[in-house]
Amino acid sequence: MRTFKWGAAALALGLMQISAPAHAEGGKTLETVKARGVLNCTGHDGSYLGFAEVDDKGNWKGMDIDLCKAVATAVFGDPAKLKIVPISWAQRWPSLQSGDVDIVIKASGGTLSRDTELGLQFSMSYYLGTTKVMAHKELNIASLKDADGGSVCIPAGTTQEQQIAAYAQKIGIKLEPVVIEKTEELEQAYFSGRCDLYTQWGPVLAIARSAKGKVEDHVILPDVIAVEPEVMIVRQGDDNWVDIANWTLSALLFAEQEGITSQNVDEIKAKPTSPQVAKFLGATPGMGKGLGLADDWAYNVIKKVGNYAEIFDRDLGKDSPYKMDRDLTNLWNNGGVLFPLVID
């Protein structure tokens, strides 16, 4: 199956290389989106926990979906002007290139080949995906150094396989790998005690822990095996559209930094705390013109979607079932690596 998928994807991409110029839209994505009246953004073919899932009434929710809403709100002032297109992993790039979607926000990392060979363009990182290791509590492991000789469950065919081997070598311990393909089986193996450790992309790990209902029986070790910056991805060659993606993210982070939330945004707009904030919320002009958006676009985003902290807490953090820590995905002044661009 997997080879079929990749074969098909490679075929699609190969053909794309030949015929892509016919469809390149040359800096007109914003115009196309406005003319269409909705933003086409990526969903998932099923559910990707915490990032794109479906509620009881069939509505999309999750971190990636909320970012799609933020971009739609920046363009239209209305989060409802958004069409989530269900898309599989293999289909991401062909769909973007063929114009099925305007932007890919799908827990996807920025990599060299995606940037240079596939003709894609990245925004700043909106999430730092870390590869981490979880251990059974009763083993009394404080960090990976204590786990010498232990067995570790690893998802097959992923970069984690090489990352954990390299990391173990670096800190001078030996681990016995148990490599399993399917996530359900992999977790079954760990929780049934077949492995002492379980290494995985951080969010999936935290979510696995919360699903078992016994969060306190398992510890996620502080070792960071590897980091993957998740980015929003657009077609190459439309600077304005990358700017909109970057500034939407920046607005969410700036609002968090300044303490502007969906609750208090109206008060602050009426009585701005600084000229910067006044411009940000559209109380004084200048925020939208250069991007081709309305001056109050950032106000709309914060009012209707919330700031970065609100989004994170709702989808992954303390108000979600997953209870994930912000970790590296925090603002610079809270021990993280995220920062807004400067509004001048």
Partner 1 sequence: MTVLAPPAPTLLEDLRRRYFATPLQAAVSLFSLAVIVFLAWKILNWALLSAVFTADGGPEACHAAAGACWSVIAARWRIILFGLYPFEEQWRSALACVAVVAMTVLSCIPACWTGRRIAAIWVAGTALFYILMKGGIFGLAYIGEEQWGGLALTLFIFVTTCLIGFPLSIGLALMRRSQLPWISRTTGIIIDGVRSLPLISILFTFAIVLPFALPQWLQGDKLYRVILGSALFFSAYQAEIVRGGMQGVPKGQEEASMALGLSYWQSISRILLPQAMRNALPATINQFVISFKETSLVVIIGFFEILASGNAAYGTGEWRFAYVEVYVFIALIYFVFVFSLSRYGAFLERRMAVGER
Q: CB 98 → partner 1: shortest distance, Å? A: 5
Tokens at residue 253, please? 């982070």
Closest separation in Å from C-beta 41 to partner 1: 12
CB of 151 to partner 1, least distance (A): 23
Rounded CA-CA distance 269/282 in Å is 8
Task: Count other Cβ atoms within 10 Å, centred on residue 188.
Answer: 13
Q: What residues line the site for partner 1 (CB under 8 A)?
A: 1, 4-5, 7-9, 11-12, 15-16, 19-20, 22-23, 43-50, 53-60, 83, 85-88, 90-91, 94-95, 98-100, 184, 207, 210-213, 320-322
Specify whether the CB–CB gap between 185 and 164 falls below 8 A.
no
Nearer to partner 1, 174 or 214 (CB): 214
Give me the residues paired with residue 152 across strands.
Answer: 177, 197
Angstrom distances, CA of residue 143 to CA of 4, 157, 189, 219: 40, 25, 21, 10
Rounded least distance, CB 88 to partner 1, Å: 5
Judged by beta carbon, residue 100 or residue 117, the one nearer partner 1 is 100
Shortest Å, Cβ 233 to partner 1: 16
Choice between 50 and 119, CB closer to partner 1: 50
Q: What is the DSSP letter of 89?
A: T
Judged by beta carbon, residue 84 or residue 268, the one nearer partner 1 is 84
Q: Are 30 and 244 in contact (CB under 8 A)?
A: yes
Say how far apart CA 51 and CA 67 lie, in whole Å. Answer: 10
By C-beta, is 218 or 279 nearer to partner 1? 218
Written as six digits, the tokens of 268 are 């602050």
224 in helix, strand or coil? coil
Kindly give, in sequence order, each residue whose CB lies less than 8 Å from that of residue 308, ignoring residues fewer than 6 positions away.
Answer: 252, 253, 255, 256, 331, 338
Q: Which is nearer to partner 1, 40 or 125 (CB)?
A: 40
Q: How far is the CB of 95 from partner 1 (least distance, A)?
A: 7
Minimum CB distance to partner 1, residue 322 (Å) = 6
Q: Is 260 exposed, middle or buried (0-12, 13-18, 19+ CB in 10 A)?
A: buried
Cα angle vertex 196, ends 191, 201, to 5°? Answer: 75
Output the smallest distance, CB 193 to partner 1, in A.
Answer: 17
Query: Which residue has tokens 């945004």?
Result: 265
Nearer to partner 1, 56 or 138 (CB): 56
CB of 109 to partner 1, least distance (A): 20
Helix (H/G/I), strand (E/B), else coil: 151? strand
Helix (H) or strand (E) holding 232: strand 226-235
Between 88 and 240, name the residue whose CB sits nearer to partner 1: 88
The structure tokens 């960090």 sit at: 143
The two structure tokens encoding residue 200: 């995985």
Q: Which is nearer to partner 1, 286 or 321 (CB)?
A: 321
